[in-house]
Every structure is written in structure tokens, then in C-alpha cells.
């Protein structure tokens, strides 16, 4: 049975509210949360004396909406994606941030400093390949489509986001023009025509763990992939490489739900987590780009080169347009699902 916002709200309140000596910090869990704990939670507890209560969620926006409906949130600081921070701020479900208490906006990577959220890290969708399987290294998404020079299967994420952008990039559309073109019926048709060319060679992936698995097994010769998955495999000695040209980048953000009982302390925590020294600790464990520019210089050059927020990797990148997908996602996902279900 589908829960209403009020029933969700009631269940959230039943879990209790953080006391003044506690701060409930919520992330997407997994290795990401473990790295956050080492870089942010534990050091902040030690410095402030405030106990961090770690929780996890799957990004279900109804939970934040339900908390706002009660006027009292159980969470204090939460990791949100670009779409959630934009929608949450627009609908008044997230607190507006006081950047005088966080830092100079100019110190952060463009796109990180939003009215109701601050970038935690920058991740990218990149072209990845196994250098042991290819004699010639691909250089672009155009090469991804070149089945004569690079015969074999390719892997793409099963879904409209990223996939349609990649198709237009492969068709020669400059990053700055992708969403302008994709906002038109003709542009959408163009993206699907480009995908038609590659469809017989596509092996779809749905989990971020699959691209490196497919590449290492030889199931595919190239794949789109989250940069972090490839970097972690490289740290384990795997011969996987990334092409940064026209990568598609997206922030994960810190935000404070409307009605947080510990708003002031949550802002202190977010300011702490936005320091370059702390972001350095995070990026040493998880290969995602720090949002604070000053953190990059604290990392070894070899580590910097594998991060999305390195200037060389940001050049020519495409920033994921969350507002576009909020407005057009449902219709494009339906069209994609129908297209993908048909035989090549």
C-alpha cells in the first residue's frame, strides 16, 4: 500500500528527534558513508563533542517532504543529489544556507554553492576501457560508436539520463549545446537515431559495480561508468582507464531539511565538512572530486589526475542539468523504455 506524506511523517516522528548533544547525518550508505565517517563524522565528534548519529537513505524525496509537513525534521544534515536540492529549495523543504558561516563561494568549484545546498563532492560519468583488451586507446564518445575500429560490445547505463547526453556528444554536439538541443523534439529524435546506430552492440548496465566487471571479464570493450568505480579498480591494480573528454559531472550535496531541531549545529558540521583539509581526507578514500578548490592542492598529483574536479578533467565536461531532468525525465524515460524494449 502506498504511503501518504502524512503517514510517512508520522513514522519519521516515531523515531524520535535528535537531542542538542546529537546530530543526525544521513547519506546514501555503503563505502561512501564509511569514507564520510572517517573524514567528517569522527573528526567532528572529536572537535565539537557532539555525537554524530549516522543514518542512510535511498534518496526517496517523499521522506524530506513528509518531515517538512510536520515542521520538525528528524534529520539534521543529509546528502542529496542535484535534482533533490533544486526541488527541495524551490518548494521550501530545505533550509537556506548562510555562506558567511561556510566560506567564500569563490573557493568552491562552479555549481557547488547553491542557495540551499553545498557540494560535498563531484562525480563523473566517463568512458572507460580495459587497456589489456584494446590495442588502440579510444579518445572520445565518437570512438565509442566506431564499431569498425573497436569491434565488440559496449555497455551503457540502462536509462535516459546520461545515455541521451552521451548520444548527442558522440554525434558531435558541443557540451554547451547538449541540453538546448535535447530540449527540442528534433534533438530528442537525433539522440535516439544515434542510439539506433549502436543498439545491436549495447550491453546495458544498471548497477555501478557492473561496468568494471564487464570490462575485466571482456564482455565489453568499452563502457560508460562512474569514475569512482574505475578509480577504485585501478587502485587494486586493474588495467582500466578513463577518457575524461566530455565526461558528465554531477554533484552530491549537503543540505539541511526544513525544521531540523539542530539547524545551527548542522550548519557548523557542514562548514567543517567543507574545509579543504577534511575534503582531502575524503578524496583520499573515495575518488570523487572535492568541491573546495583548495583541497586539490593538498592531494598528490597522481590522485588529483583521477578526480572530476581537477581543472584538466573539468575542461570540456558537461554538467548534468538536474532541472532539465526534473522537467523532462518522466517523458524521456518512458520513450527510452519503449525504445530499449524493441529488438535492434
pLDDT by 10s per residue, the chain, length 344: 333 433 334 344 334 444 458 999 999 998 899 999 999 999 999 999 999 999 999 888 888 989 888 877 899 999 999 989 998 999 999 999 999 999 999 999 999 999 999 999 999 999 999 999 998 999 999 999 999 999 999 999 999 999 999 999 999 999 999 999 999 999 999 999 999 999 999 999 999 999 999 999 999 999 999 999 999 999 899 999 999 999 999 999 999 999 998 999 999 999 999 999 999 999 999 999 999 999 999 999 999 999 999 999 999 999 999 889 989 999 999 999 999 999 87
Do 127 and 144 touch, CB atoms closer than 8 A?
yes
The set of cell numbers assigned to 13 is 516522528
CATH architecture, domain defined by 5-121+251-314: 3-Layer(aba) Sandwich (3.40)
SS3 label, residue 191: helix
The set of cell numbers assigned to 187 is 534533438
The per-residue pLDDT for 16 is 41
pTM given for the model: 0.87
The third-level CATH classification (topology) of the domain covering 123-250+318-341 is: D-Maltodextrin-Binding Protein; domain 2 (3.40.190)
SS3 label, residue 231: helix
The per-residue pLDDT for 60 is 84
Residue 193: how many other CB atoms lie within 10 Å: 11
E strands, the chain, are 22-27, 51-56, 77-81, 113-114, 117-130, 154-157, 202-205, 222-226, 240-255, 289-290, 318-319
The H or E element containing residue 229 is helix 227-235
Do 301 and 232 touch, CB atoms closer than 8 A?
no
DSSP 18: -
Q: Which part of the chain has CATH 3.40.190.10?
A: 5-121+251-314, 123-250+318-341
Rounded to whole angstroms, how far apart are CA atoms 95 and 98?
9
Backbone angles phi, psi at 26, to 5 degrees: -120, 135
The per-residue pLDDT for 272 is 98
Rounded to whole angstroms, how far apart are CA atoms 217 and 215?
6
Do 306 and 225 touch, CB atoms closer than 8 A?
no
Do the bridges between strand 318-319 and strand 240-255 make them parallel or antiparallel, or are there none, so unpaired? parallel
Do 58 and 66 touch, CB atoms closer than 8 A?
no
Rounded to whole angstroms, how far apart are CA atoms 149 and 164?
23
The per-residue pLDDT for 20 is 54
Vertex 10 angle, CA 9 and 12, to 5°: 65
Do 303 and 284 touch, CB atoms closer than 8 A?
yes
Backbone angles phi, psi at 56, to 5 degrees: -135, 155
Q: Is the dihedral of CA 149, 153, 154, 159 positive or negative?
A: positive
Which residues are within 8 A (CB) of 82 and not within 5 positions of it... i.e. 6 or more apart? 250, 251, 253, 320, 322
Which residues are within 8 A (CB) of 2 and not within 5 positions of it... i.e. 6 or more apart? none
Amino acid at each position: 500500500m502506498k504511503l501518504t506524506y502524512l503517514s510517512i511523517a508520522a513514522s519519521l516522528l516515531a523515531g524520535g528527534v535528535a537531542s542538542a548533544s546529537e546530530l543526525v547525518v544521513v547519506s546514501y550508505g555503503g563505502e561512501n558513508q564509511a569514507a564520510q565517517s572517517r573524514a567528517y563524522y569522527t573528526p567532528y565528534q572529536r572537535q565539537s563533542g557532539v555525537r554524530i548519529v549516522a543514518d542512510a537513505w535511498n534518496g526517496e524525496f517523499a521522506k524530506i517532504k513528509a518531515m517538512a509537513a510536520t515542521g520538525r525534521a528528524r534529520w539534521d544534515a543529509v546528502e542529496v543529489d542535484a535534482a533533490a536540492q533544486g526541488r527541495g529549495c524551490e518548494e521550501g523543504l530545505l533550509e537556506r544556507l548562510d555562506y558567511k558561516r561556510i566560506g567564500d563561494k569563490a573557493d568552491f568549484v562552479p555549481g557547488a554553492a547553491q542557495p540551499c545546498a553545498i557540494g560535498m563532492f563531484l562525480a563523473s560519468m566517463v568512458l572507460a576501457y580495459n587497456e589489456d583488451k584494446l590495442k588502440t586507446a579510444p579518445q572520445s564518445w565518437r570512438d565509442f560508436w566506431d564499431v569498425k575500429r573497436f569491434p565488440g560490445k559496449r555497455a551503457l547505463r540502462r536509462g535516459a539520463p546520461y545515455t541521451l547526453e552521451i548520444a548527442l556528444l558522440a554525434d558531435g554536439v558541443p557540451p554547451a549545446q547538449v541540453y538546448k538541443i535535447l530540449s527540442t523534439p528534433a534533438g530528442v529524435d537525433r539522440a535516439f537515431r544515434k542510439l539506433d546506430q549502436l543498439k545491436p552492440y549495447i550491453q546495458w548496465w544498471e548497477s555501478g559495480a557492473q561496468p568494471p566487471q564487464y570490462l575485466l571479464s571482456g564482455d565489453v570493450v568499452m563502457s560508460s561508468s562512474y569514475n569512482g568505480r574505475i578509480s577504485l579498480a585501478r587502485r587494486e591494480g586493474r588495467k582500466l582507464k578513463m577518457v575524461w573528454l566530455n565526461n558528465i559531472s554531477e554533484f552530491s550535496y549537503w543540505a539541511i531539511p526544513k525544521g531540523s531541531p539542530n539547524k545551527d549545529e548542522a550548519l557548523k558540521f557542514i562548514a567543517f565538512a567543507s574545509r579543504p583539509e577534511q575534503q582531502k581526507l575524503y578524496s583520499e578514500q573515495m575518488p570523487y572530486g572535492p568541491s573546495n578548490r583548495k583541497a586539490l592542492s593538498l592531494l598528490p598529483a597522481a590522485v588529483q589526475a583521477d578526480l572530476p574536479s581537477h581543472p584538466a578533467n573539468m575542461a570540456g565536461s558537461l554538467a548534468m542539468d538536474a532541472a532539465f531532468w526534473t522537467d523532462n525525465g518522466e517523458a524521456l524515460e518512458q520513450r527510452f523504455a519503449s525504445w530499449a524494449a524493441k529488438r535492434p
